[in-house]
């Protein structure tokens, strides 16, 4: 069982309109809804009357969520009313809910530090949501090594022929694991190079840090002149939050940011680049998820696997997931 007392994203802001949205976080089911006045609510997705899914209900003009079965309705604070028996005052268990970084986040109990995704200097580009049909650890494995990128990805990462020259360094701290990768940028064509403001022969740096409650990775991506080591102006920040939604299902929320690039024509290139960043990120995540859904072996244990130099993080991640994120009774 995972910790529910840390913030998990459960819906993109743009998707939460008049209809409530149900989501699963670990073993728990939650419904989030938004009243006409914008007030958010998050309740257990189970009517306290006879167990109907509240996420199939409707939001009333007063901002209460009405159950589709017998019409009992619940306010964001959980207080319920029962139209057929007004003297009855049912309650629905509530979750803490906030809207931040373009997503709706929930937690149950406990003060929790909010994950630092974008922050100062980063302009948000998009938030994407995907579902992986694989356990958390195996999805995270894929998202935290670059060895697959030449073979699997269309634009992202390093060409297969260059992988032997890619430098990868792991820095494991108590509550975080950082991986720094640097190597030749793969050929992405002149137009895209121009939009990113990079030159042929530039090196691509992918410097990411994984944290564990919730499990999320912040990727800082930029290009450098290999001769001088000087960075080009454009930088990208991609943050992916991994939400276990069952033993073999993981929901991913991907937050994309850019720094604006700087220099002459930055505004124009920014306008052209943004839709491309949305499309490319969506494509690349889908390529990863198609791959991990086809693994022959869904066992998350690493015993018996023959691991390579890019796989050192796999064990570091598992130890921290067990210690910082899963409840003790699941720790082996």
Residue 84 in contact with residue 70, Cβ under 8 Å?
yes
71 vs 150, which CB is nearer to ligand FES? 71
Q: Please count the residues of this chain forming the interface with ligand FES, following the rule CB under 6 A.
A: 8
Q: Which does 288 bind (CB under 5 to 8 A by kind): ligand FES, Fe ion, none?
A: Fe ion
Residue 251 in contact with residue 245, Cβ under 8 Å?
yes
65 vs 140, which CB is nearer to ligand FES? 65
Out of 16, 25, 42, 67, the only residue in the binding site for ligand FES (CB under 6 A) is 67
Q: Which does 125 bind (CB under 5 to 8 A by kind): ligand FES, Fe ion, none?
A: none
Determine if 202 is a binding residue for Fe ion (CB under 5 A): no
**Per-residue contact flags (x/-) with ligand FES for residues 69 to 108, judged by CB under 6 A:** xx-x------------------------------------
CB of 132 to ligand FES, least distance (A): 32
58 vs 142, which CB is nearer to Fe ion? 142
97 vs 292, which CB is nearer to Fe ion? 292
Determine if 145 is a binding residue for Fe ion (CB under 5 A): no
Q: Which does 11 bind (CB under 5 to 8 A by kind): Fe ion, ligand FES, none?
A: none
Which of the stretches 40-48, 192-200, 286-294, 323-331 binds Fe ion when contact is defined by CB under 5 A? 286-294
Residue 139 in contact with residue 244, Cβ under 8 Å?
no
Contacts of 301 (CB under 8 A, 6+ apart): none
Which of the stretches 42-50, 149-157, 167-175, 188-196 binds ligand FES when contact is defined by CB under 6 A? 42-50
Which of the stretches 37-45, 46-54, 154-162, 247-255 binds ligand FES when contact is defined by CB under 6 A? 46-54
Determine if 49 is a binding residue for ligand FES (CB under 6 A): yes
C-alpha dist (Å) from residue 37 to 33, 55, 59, 106 = 11, 19, 11, 19
12 vs 81, which CB is nearer to ligand FES? 81
Closest CA to 33 of 45, 24, 44, 42: 42
Residue 24 in contact with residue 11, Cβ under 8 Å?
no
CB of 4 to ligand FES, least distance (A): 23
C-alpha dist (Å) from residue 38 to 76, 92, 257 = 11, 20, 25
Q: Which does 312 bind (CB under 5 to 8 A by kind): ligand FES, Fe ion, none?
A: none
Residues near ligand FES, by CB under 6 A: 47, 49-50, 52, 67, 69-70, 72
Residues near Fe ion, by CB under 5 A: 288
């Amino acid at each position: 069982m995972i910790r529910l007392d840390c913030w998990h994203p459960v819906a993109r802001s743009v998707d939460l309109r008049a209809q409530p949205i149900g989501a699963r976080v670990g073993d728990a089911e939650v419904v989030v809804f938004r009243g006409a006045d914008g007030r958010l609510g998050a309740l257990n997705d189970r009517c306290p009357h006879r167990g109907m899914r509240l996420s199939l209900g409707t939001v009333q003009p007063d901002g209460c969520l009405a159950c589709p079965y017998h019409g009992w309705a619940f306010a964001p604070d959980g207080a319920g009313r029962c139209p057929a028996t007004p003297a009855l005052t049912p309650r629905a268990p509530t979750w803490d809910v906030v809207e931040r970084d373009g997503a709706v986040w929930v937690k149950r109990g406990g003060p929790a530090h909010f994950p630092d995704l974008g922050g100062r200097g980063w302009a948000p580009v998009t938030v994407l949501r995907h579902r992986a049909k694989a356990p958390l650890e195996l999805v995270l494995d894929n998202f935290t090594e670059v060895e697959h990128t030449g073979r699997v990805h269309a634009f992202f990462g390093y060409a297969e022929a260059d992988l032997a020259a890619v430098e990868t360094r792991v820095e494991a701290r108590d509550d975080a694991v950082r991986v720094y990768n640097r190597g030749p940028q793969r050929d992405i064509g002149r137009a895209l190079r121009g939009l990113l403001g990079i030159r042929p022969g530039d090196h691509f740096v992918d410097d990411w840090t994984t944290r564990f409650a919730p499990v999320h990775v912040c990727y800082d991506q930029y290009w450098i002149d290999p001769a001088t080591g000087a960075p080009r102006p454009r930088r990208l920040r991609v943050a992916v939050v991994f939400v276990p939604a069952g033993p073999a299902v993981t929901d991913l929320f991907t937050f994309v940011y850019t720094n604006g690039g700087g220099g002459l024509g930055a505004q124009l290139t920014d306008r052209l680049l943004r839709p491309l960043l949305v499309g490319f990120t969506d494509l690349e995540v889908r390529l990863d998820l198609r791959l991990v859904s086809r693994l022959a072996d869904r066992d998350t244990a690493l015993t018996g696997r023959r691991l390579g130099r890019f796989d050192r993080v796999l064990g570091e991640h598992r130890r921290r997931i067990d210690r910082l994120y899963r409840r003790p009774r699941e720790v082996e």
